Amino acid sequence: MRRIAVPALVCLAGLLVFVALPAIYVRTQLLDRNQLSERVGTAVTSEAVRTVAAQRIVDAAVDAGAEELLVTRPIAIAGIEALLGTPVVRQLARGAASDAHSLLTGQEGTFVLDLGRGTSLVLEGLRSVSPRVARAVPEGFDPEVLRIPADDPALASVRRFADLGGALAWIAPLLALACAAGALVLGAADRRRVLVGLGAAAAVASALLMVALAIGRGAAVPGAEADPDVAAAAGALWDALFGDLGVWAQTLLLAGAVLAVVAAARREEGGAVSRLLGTVSRVRTAGTPRWRAARAGALLAAAALIAWEPALALRLTAIGLAVYAISELAAVLDATSRRRQARRAKTAKAAGAAPARARRGAAAFAPRIAIPLAAVVAAIAIAALLTHDAPQPPTVAAAPATGCNGPRAYCDLRLDEYTFPGTHNSFSAAHEPGWLIPNQRFGIARQLDAGIRAFLLDVHVGVKTDQLVRTDLQAEGSDRNKVGKVIGPANLATAERLAGRVGAGDLRGRREPFLCHTLCELGAVPAKEQLRAFGRFLDRNRGEVLLFMMEPYLPPAQMARLFREAGLGDDVVTLDRAAPLPTLGDLVRADRRLLVFTEGEGGVPPWYMPAWSFFQDTPLGATKPSEFSCRRTRGDADSPLLLINHWIDAFPPNPRRNREIGDGFLTRRIARCERERGMRANVVAVDFYDRSDVVEASRGLNDRAAQQAQREAAVE
């Protein structure tokens, strides 16, 4: 009976430890008002959370009507982010956490997390940076980040979990101690064996808790497909709330393992680690199918742990090494004690004492075991370094081509019958890091998701420095004076206040192509990196056709190499100016779904097509709606495609004024230009696409074109 009861009590004690440790943590750290407030305050003022909070505050202000903030978004975010780290904001967060604690403990009320006094601080900070930016924030702006009423159903579930944790914090530890005491009483004949079992049970329970925490963090923190700032903020919040529970688990794991090995080291000859290695050796050489399957499973589990949670694997390895060192030290001390006893027994033969058996200690640990062990540890460390902070993008299966840029009916439209919704300076986006004077609110990835299919891209030569990208004006055949003529002296002065003097000093470093607008100092993205992102989109979406209108400051040979190195060589299509234009379906079936036009010198390679042999456009430079015109500026009179340039030309770009020329105004202008020019609009390019309804307007044009094509086909 005892042979069954003792192991059962030991296992039950380990299970109760697994429950008791997080229960005690919840009761003492999360259900304690002061502890919870301190942890939330730490999380809110951490750099990762401040970054995301500042972005959300600025975006909320933009949505509330302060559209001018889009132009200076990085400056506004930087100012707010600094203020969110102040003690006042930390105190606001502590107060919000105190309200949350009241709801968790069953008190009535509503939890509201907003900026409160922090809003006035933010405005003061913005005024110190730019009074104009501060004036853009609507009066009374006080974004409510989160509201949780007392009767929220999700809150009820959290309360039940908290109540359960509070109760188990008392019950589970007492039951665990009772089980341990019972095992020691029933196993009195061999208490060291019981201690070994209890230590091992505590260690296993702690290791399982560490794995559970790692899984929980992985579920709570977005993966590689998410915004990295959001993922970092979620990680900081998790670590502030539950990071110390991991430390508790590691401490108990070490304590349990030490208890087990020290008790075992004094029980049998050879030491615990020596006997463990002997067991491992027997398992390694066992040839039965069962043991082979066990070895394979253990190796797969270890590989998965190293690949998915390298930090946890390293911590477990470090704990194992510490346990090994303590075990061998215990074996050495035990051997020394036995030798001392043997000497005493030798001098006390008259008393009839039997000599104690000498034990092998650490000296018996052969170097041939230490070397493989060190190799395993090094392999785990290298794997952790290789995988740390390097999440791989998720593999997304290619979507089958069920249509062409949407509906199946669009596949029958020729290029001169289809309208590509487009963006001007597509890469210059407020939500992308580093852009000071953006033309769009969201970056190219969001534009693709929204339905944008034409992209006006400028490629410049730049040199990346520690803080920004410097434009190589000399390589482009330009200088500061020429830039001033393009954007105006006043605008050049504004740009230099933001990014430093243009063309100052020698440029040292590797020249690379960047997507920039006029000056890379105002924002830049590596051209190859962005082109590869376009390629991944085409690979995932087999029915999509994209169009690039390039304004290059590189010769055609370098542009061709750039596209080839970005992996787009198999996607580009070559049009024959003398032949009828293909349909979207023709391009999809040929799997050549990228049209590349250049405003510069084209034709070599043949897919790098001269824009104004195929396109004619509308005038640039309109500074107000009344200045928009439909007359032809660039391109030949017989060029088959029409580009409508539809944005207010201002520096910096003005989101509000561009919104005013969207929706109905845009639709009327397209209809007017199609009527005056006698051709369909094939690319409509806008600033701040999300405020212009260009995607909806283009969809309406394409639906009508598809219906007309179907009617004509029916007549034929």
Q: Which residue has the higher pLDDT, 588 or 308?
A: 588
Strands (E), 474-523: 511-515
Look at residue 678 and tell me whether its pLDDT is greater than 80.
yes
- The encoded tokens of residue 479 equal 């200088």
**Of the spans 173-182, 296-305, 313-322, 538-547, which averages the highest pLDDT?**
538-547
246 pLDDT band, cuts 50/70/90, is confident
Instruction: Report the residue count for the chain.
Output: 716
**Of the spans 272-281, 334-343, 409-418, 488-497, which averages the highest pLDDT?**
409-418
Look at residue 573 and tell me whether its pLDDT is greater than 60.
yes
* Count of CB atoms situated within 10 Å of the CB of 629: 15
Please tell me what DSSP assigns to residue 136: T
Closest-CA residue to 43 (of 234, 240, 217): 240
Nearest-angstrom CA–CA distance, 513 and 179: 69
List the end-to-end C-alpha distance of the chain, in Å, as a whole number. 93
Look at residue 290 and tell me whether its pLDDT is greater than 50.
yes
Closest-CA residue to 655 (of 429, 466, 451): 429
Residue owning tokens 């911590």:
315
Look at residue 376 and tell me whether its pLDDT is greater than 50.
no
Look at residue 415 and tell me whether its pLDDT is greater than 90.
yes
Q: Which residue has the higher pLDDT, 55 or 197?
A: 197
Q: Which residue has the higher pLDDT, 438 or 299?
A: 438
**Range 64-81 average pLDDT:** 69
Tens digits of per-residue pLDDT, 150-169? 555 554 555 666 677 777 88
* Count of CB atoms situated within 10 Å of the CB of 66: 21
What is the predicted pLDDT for the residue at 393?
Answer: 39
Tens digits of per-residue pLDDT, 465-501? 877 788 887 776 666 666 666 666 766 665 666 555 5
What is the predicted pLDDT for the residue at 267?
Answer: 47
With a CB cutoff of 8 Å and minimum separation 6, the contacts of 478 are: none
Identify the weakest region by mean pLDDT among 87-96, 250-259, 447-456, 653-662.
87-96
Q: Which residue has the higher pLDDT, 172 or 64?
A: 172
DSSP string, 113-133: EE-THHHHHHHHHHHHH-HHH
pLDDT above 70 coverage of the chain, percent: 62
- The encoded tokens of residue 488 equal 């105006």
Q: Based on the number of CB atoms within 10 Å of its own CB, is 178 exposed (0-12), middle (13-18) or buried (19 or more)?
A: middle
- What kind and span of H or E run contains 673? helix 664-677
Nearest-angstrom CA–CA distance, 596 and 266: 77
Local structure of 64: helix, strand or coil: coil
Identify the weakest region by mean pLDDT among 455-459, 469-473, 544-548.
469-473
Instruction: Domain ranges for the chain, please list them.
Output: 2-189, 268-387, 408-715
**Of the spans 237-246, 247-256, 460-469, 629-638, which averages the highest pLDDT?**
629-638
pTM: 0.60
What is the predicted pLDDT for the residue at 133?
Answer: 61
**Range 502-511 average pLDDT:** 64
Closest-CA residue to 457 (of 628, 600, 603): 600
Q: Which residue has the higher pLDDT, 520 or 680?
A: 680
Tens digits of per-residue pLDDT, 3-60? 788 889 989 998 999 988 888 888 888 777 777 777 777 777 777 777 777 777 777 7
Do strands 525-526 and 511-515 pair parallel, antiparallel, or not at all (unpaired)?
Answer: antiparallel
**Of the spans 223-232, 465-474, 615-624, which averages the highest pLDDT?**
615-624
Please tell me what DSSP assigns to residue 138: P
Closest-CA residue to 241 (of 103, 37, 48, 104): 37
- The encoded tokens of residue 419 equal 């309208």
Strands (E), 387-441: 420-423
Q: Please, are residues 193 and 265 in contact by the beta-carbon 8 Å criterion? A: no
Read off the amino acid at residue 389: D
User: For residue 111, what are the β-bridge partners?
Assistant: 148
> b vs e for 425-436, b when ≥16 Cβ sit within 10 Å of the residue's Cβ?
bbbbbbbbeebb
Local structure of 460: helix, strand or coil: strand
Nearest-angstrom CA–CA distance, 175 and 167: 13
What is the predicted pLDDT for the residue at 358?
Answer: 43
What is the predicted pLDDT for the residue at 94?
Answer: 65
> b vs e for 449-458, b when ≥16 Cβ sit within 10 Å of the residue's Cβ?
eeebbbbbbb
Read off the amino acid at residue 267: R
Nearest-angstrom CA–CA distance, 7 and 4: 6
Q: Please, are residues 359 and 331 in contact by the beta-carbon 8 Å criterion? A: yes
DSSP string, 546-559: EEEEEEESS-HHHH
What is the predicted pLDDT for the residue at 346?
Answer: 75
* Count of CB atoms situated within 10 Å of the CB of 255: 14
Round the average pLDDT of the chain to a whole number and report it. Answer: 77
Residue owning tokens 């009767």:
151
Please tell me what DSSP assigns to residue 690: G
Do strands 546-552 and 594-598 pair parallel, antiparallel, or not at all (unpaired)?
Answer: parallel
What is the predicted pLDDT for the residue at 381?
Answer: 47
- The encoded tokens of residue 407 equal 């509906």
Nearest-angstrom CA–CA distance, 505 and 495: 17
Residue owning tokens 């001018």:
68
- The encoded tokens of residue 663 equal 């929706």
Q: Is the dihedral of CA 356, 358, 359, 361 positive or negative?
A: positive
Number of helices (H) and strands (E) in the chain: give both, helices first.
Answer: 24, 13
Q: Please, are residues 674 and 618 in contact by the beta-carbon 8 Å criterion? A: no
What is the predicted pLDDT for the residue at 250?
Answer: 84
Q: What is the CATH number of domain 408-715?
A: 3.20.20.190
Look at residue 125 and tell me whether its pLDDT is greater than 70.
no
Look at residue 325 and tell me whether its pLDDT is greater than 80.
no
Look at residue 419 and tell me whether its pLDDT is greater than 80.
yes
What is the predicted pLDDT for the residue at 592?
Answer: 95
What is the predicted pLDDT for the residue at 368?
Answer: 38
**Range 657-677 average pLDDT:** 94
Residue owning tokens 């086909």:
713
Tens digits of per-residue pLDDT, 128-147? 555 666 666 666 666 654 45
**Range 576-587 average pLDDT:** 94
Q: How many CA atoms lie within 13 A of 611 on its CB side?
A: 21
Q: Based on the number of CB atoms within 10 Å of its own CB, is 657 exposed (0-12), middle (13-18) or buried (19 or more)?
A: middle
Nearest-angstrom CA–CA distance, 54 and 47: 10
Give pairs for 666-674: CB < 8 Å, separation 24+: 666/692, 666/693, 666/694, 666/697, 667/693, 667/697, 667/700, 669/628, 669/630, 669/644, 670/644, 670/697, 670/701, 672/630, 673/618, 673/630, 673/642, 673/644, 674/642
**Secondary structure of 313-381 in the HEC alphabet?**
HHHHHHHHHHHHHHHHHHHHHHHHHHHHHHHHHHHCHHHCCCCCCCCCCHHHCCHHHHHHHHHHHHHHH
What is the predicted pLDDT for the residue at 93?
Answer: 66
